[in-house]
Amino acid sequence: MIARILDYLTKVERLFASLLIFVLTTFVVVDVGAREIMKTGIPWAQKGAVYMMIWAGFLGAILVTQKFEHLRPEVADKLWKSKLRVPYLRFHNLLVFSFSVAMAYYSFGYVMESKEFGDRNVIIDMPMWFLQVIIPYTFSSMSLRYFYFIFFPCEKDPQAVH
Amino acid sequence: MSTGLMILMALIVSLLFGLPLFVIMGSIAAICYLTISGESMAVIIGDIFYAADKEILLAIPLFILAGQIMTKGTISGRLINFAKSLTAGVPGGLGLAAILSCAVFAAISGSSPVTLIAIGTLMYPALVEAGYSKKLAAGALSTGGTLGIIIPPSIPMIIFAIMAGVSVVDLFKAGIGPGILLVFLLCGYMIYARPKIHTTRFSGQDFLTNLRKGFFSLLMPIIILGGIYSGFFTATESAAVAVVYAIIVEFFLHREITLKKFVMVFSETAEMLGMLFLILILAVSLNKFMTLEQLPQQMVDWMSGLISSKLGFLIAVNILLLFVGCIMDVMSAILVLAPILTPMAVHYGINPIHFGIIMIVNLEIGYLTPPIGINLFVASGIFKLPLMDVIKSVLPFLLVMILGLAIISAFPAISLSFV
């Protein structure tokens, strides 16, 4: 049940992240083209692309979490073999879950504060909290995944190469 | 409990349990802010949003995207055929073709393991069939694959520029000379170590055919580097041009990328961006804290007491970075060490751009050194060789790379004459 929900969530996040990469690329290309050809750029295009990149980067971090592919030191991996492997993975996930929950909590507070102060981005004329809301979402989504991994630990695909 | 002790404990737990780097960075930043500045974790959240809100960062997803699009087709085969026809008639020509193919493909893909897989899968059987020993073939391809991060455009260079506060464009320009030097040295070794086999004859017809087939792939690094070098493009603009060029070549000229593959490319780009993004912005937060507390300056003062000369510093820093390359991946090492080591290098009179190149070449060598040299594991997998054999195969190439590193460190003009 939880696995299916996470799977569904991952598909939505993947779709959204891919769309963001596509749109941000279009924005930058059109802006550069306009600047080089018509000698006048689109004032909001680069800034808009930066915020899309921020969203895509955070969503990408969730996708990487789902695949267990975050960069990490692997020097002590060999210490945890056979019987110790599963308890190790559970504790590993518990620690990352705790960090993600703390980040989700503080980022939610940060966004609420930003909303309260009415901060706006003048270039794209948008409230800052709307742009920042991806931070608590990311850490909440990651917390959910790491919570699931505590009970159902899994590992990085050894064939994965980036 | 003192801050130092808390950081040490956090590091031990992180290493012992293999925690993701973003957790390590975030935890250390949190400890520093909480205990030294008396601030809450909310400061880190503000920092990471501020760190991410930079236009230069746009170059990262765009270069990743361009590399992903270009590597979905049969570009590796085209480059190999061109390199083979170019080096036909030269003793050890096939070995040279392997290195040259790796260099050009690396400039396009920007990824060392991907270069090794793409070129190695096609070139290894060809080298072995032509009479090259498995050891020489595996060593050449594993080493050639590492050229990806020194030949611009290179994501590690963008990360270094952000962390050290230097110009990405200058760093790209500075990578050209060392990249060419390393290619020359590796080619030189391949000629020296070549097996005694019959050299194929150069054919003008073959050369022209393969040049025509590989022309548009070969043109990409020339357009990007030419644009940057002439001052026509900024880093972000060159990344945008790279994407447009990649789409034109793969969709309309080579016609080798399907719509399904094209859609997948965006998702893969988001994942690769996600892998770097959190670590990068948390590292910037930690870096901001260190700057506020003047930690790099304190490290410089401490180091000045230990090492008095520029040469002494260069030797020490190269040994340190070679060691770091053995135990950390390139991105992590740059994020952690660039903000600390660059002010020290500047203190000893080393140009920060030159230092960036030294750091990247050191970490490039780390792709070939156990226990985490990723190219060793990739080579062992794709060439079906025991890991120990691959490690032995790269040893002579490691010496060549270290010679290159020494030359690059000793002669700043190799890097800086293009800047």
Question: Residue B205: pLDDT above 50?
Answer: yes
Q: What is the mean pLDDT of residues B41-66?
A: 87
How much is the CA Rg of chain A, to the nearest whole Å?
19
Instruction: Using a CB–CB cutoff of 8 Å, tell me whether A121 touches chain B.
Output: no
CA pair distance B174, B351, nearest whole angstrom: 11
Question: Residue A60: pLDDT above 90?
Answer: yes
Pair A129, B45: CB distance under 8 Å: no
Q: Which residue of B has its CA nearest to A73?
A: B18
The answer to whether the Cβ–Cβ distance between A103 and B42 falls below 8 Å is: no
Pair B142, B397: CB distance under 8 Å: yes
- Of B106-120, B241-255, B320-334, B389-403, the least confident: B106-120
> Closest to A161 (Cβ–Cβ): which among B271, B275, B378?
B378
Q: Confidence band (pLDDT; 50, 70, 90) for A162? A: very low
Residues in CB range of B176: below 8 A, 6 or more apart: B151, B152, B225, B229, B418
Name chain A contacts of B269, Cβ cutoff 8 Å. 18, 21
Q: Confidence band (pLDDT; 50, 70, 90) for B346? A: very high
Pair A66, A6: CB distance under 8 Å: yes
Q: Which residue of A has its CA nearest to B40?
A: A106
Instruction: Note the pTM of the prediction, 2 decimals.
Output: 0.84
Interface A–B counts its CB contacts (< 8 A) at 184
Name chain B contacts of A139, Cβ cutoff 8 Å. none
The answer to whether the Cβ–Cβ distance between B267 and A18 falls below 8 Å is: yes
Q: Which residue of A has its CA nearest to B265?
A: A18
Q: Confidence band (pLDDT; 50, 70, 90) for A160? A: low
Of the ranges A15-24, A67-76, B238-247, B286-295, which is most confident? A15-24
Name chain B contacts of A159, Cβ cutoff 8 Å. 381
Which of B12, B15, B33, B49 should we substitute to test contact with A (largest number of A Cβ atoms within 10 Å)?
A: B49
Q: Which pair of structure tokens corresponds to residue B66?
A: 């361009």
Name chain B contacts of A92, Cβ cutoff 8 Å. 17-19
Q: Confidence band (pLDDT; 50, 70, 90) for A135? A: very high
Closest CA to A142 of A84, A85, A102: A102
Question: Residue B90: pLDDT above 90?
Answer: no
Instruction: Tell the residue number behind the tokens 């991105």, with chain if given.
Output: B331
What digits encode the pLDDT tens for the residues B124-138?
988 898 888 999 999
Residue B170, classified by CB atoms within 10 Å of its CB into exposed (0-12), middle (13-18) or buried (19+), is buried
Q: Which pair of structure tokens corresponds to residue B39?
A: 């601030």
Name chain A contacts of B372, Cβ cutoff 8 Å. 74-75
> Closest to A53 (Cβ–Cβ): which among B16, B61, B327?
B61
Q: How far does the CA of residue B158 sit from the closest CA of chain A (Å)?
A: 16
Q: How far does the CA of residue B89 sit from the closest CA of chain A (Å)?
A: 36
